Structure 1
Amino acid sequence: MRRLGIFLALIFAFGASVAVAHWAVARPGHEDPVGEIFADWNDRLAAFNDWRRAQSDNRPDWQDARHQVLNGDAETGARLIADYGCGACHTIPGIAWANGSVGPRLAGFADRAYVGGVLPNEPGDLVRWLIDPTIYAPDTAMPDLGVTEPEAEHMAAYLYTLGTDR
């Protein structure tokens, strides 16, 4: 089977060279018809690569998109986290005086797999955790602070800005 493939490749190569030679004779004034073909293909390939690069530049970053909180504003969330005193228990980057050591450090929060060790780190689960963590982990040290759903959405939006590469 391999010999047949090699044989067919040789026949094709020979046929192509005969066709190019015939074309060169048929087009007087063209000294390098093969070079013209390759130049044309290189131009088309370059145009395609430019188009593909432009398409990939417009593509969303799915890693960031999975942590988009629909109604959350990170700036408002940072203010709420400070107002609720979350820094009394957590060390939180970007929040003044947030250097607590009871709860986990929240640096790199966006890159974690779980919230409170029990829920997947996804916006809906994080919002529910912030509203009432004791429902999901009755023995947690994190108290129910009376955070409303809109407030939790803002707080979640801020927490998702805390990634290792952000």
Structure 2
Amino acid sequence: MLALIVLSVIAMSWAAMRPGDGMWRALADTVDQTAADLAQWYRDGPGDGHPDWDGAAIRIYGANADRGARAMIAHGCGACHTIPGVTGARGSVGPHLGGFADRAYVAGVLPNTPDGLVRWLVNPVVHAPRTAMPDLGVTEAQARDMAAYLYTLRGR
């Protein structure tokens, strides 16, 4: 797949060359534009202008939303948070996590992206030293599963 992308970029660069331009200049210009277009597409998400968190949850490497719900029970997340669909999760110390997929930020400090959420769950104190959320010893694999579950929570 990567080879196909590289060949496509080279072909586009060759076609975009102006007389007198060197091949490397045209390639650099095309790569810059392709990267900018890709970054804009990633920021925009699907056509409705909202990020595709359902798709992101599926693409979190090795993640499983069902395991994520079980991990939240095991780590006691429900002692502080109300988490729809998680047995016994009716806490009121931390924020209600209903509609989590629609939020712009994780705890107000990291962009709500799969990577940002996983980093927060693994070690929240690193990102917000004065947070009330403790380091629960969540592994990266458990955090990916938890993130996959949280991204299934739309609306409130």
TM-score normalised over the length of structure 1: 0.60
Q: Does 1:77 align with 2:74?
A: no
Question: Within 2, Cα distance between the matches of 1:134 and 1:150?
Answer: 19
Question: Are positions 1:161 and 2:147 aligned together?
Answer: no
Q: Give 1:99 deviation, angstroms.
A: 0.5
| Residue 137 of structure 1, CA deviation | 0.4
Equivalent position of 1:89 in the other structure = 80
| Offset at residue 91 of structure 1 (A) | 0.3
Q: Which runs of 5+ in 1 are unaligned?
A: 1-59
The match for 2:22 is none
* 1:60-139 aligned within 5 A: 63=52, 64-67=54-57, 68-139=59-130
Alignment of 1:48-63 (within 5 A): 63=52
1:125 match: secondary structure: helix
Shift of 1:69: 1.6
Aligned to 2:131: 140
Distance 2:60 2:84 in 1: 19
Measure how far apart 1:65 and its partner are: 2.3
Query: How far, CA to CA, are the matches of 2:99 and 2:113 in structure 1?
Result: 14
The Cα RMSD (Å) is 1.7
In structure 2, C-alpha distance between the alignment counterparts of 1:69 and 1:159, rounded to whole Å: 12
| Distance (whole Å) between structure 1 residues aligned to residue 140 and residue 61 of structure 2 | 12
The structure number with the bigger radius of gyration is 1
Aligned-partner Cα distance in 2 for 1:138–1:107: 25
* Identity in percent: 60
User: What runs of 5+ residues in structure 2 fail to find an aligned partner?
Assistant: 1-45
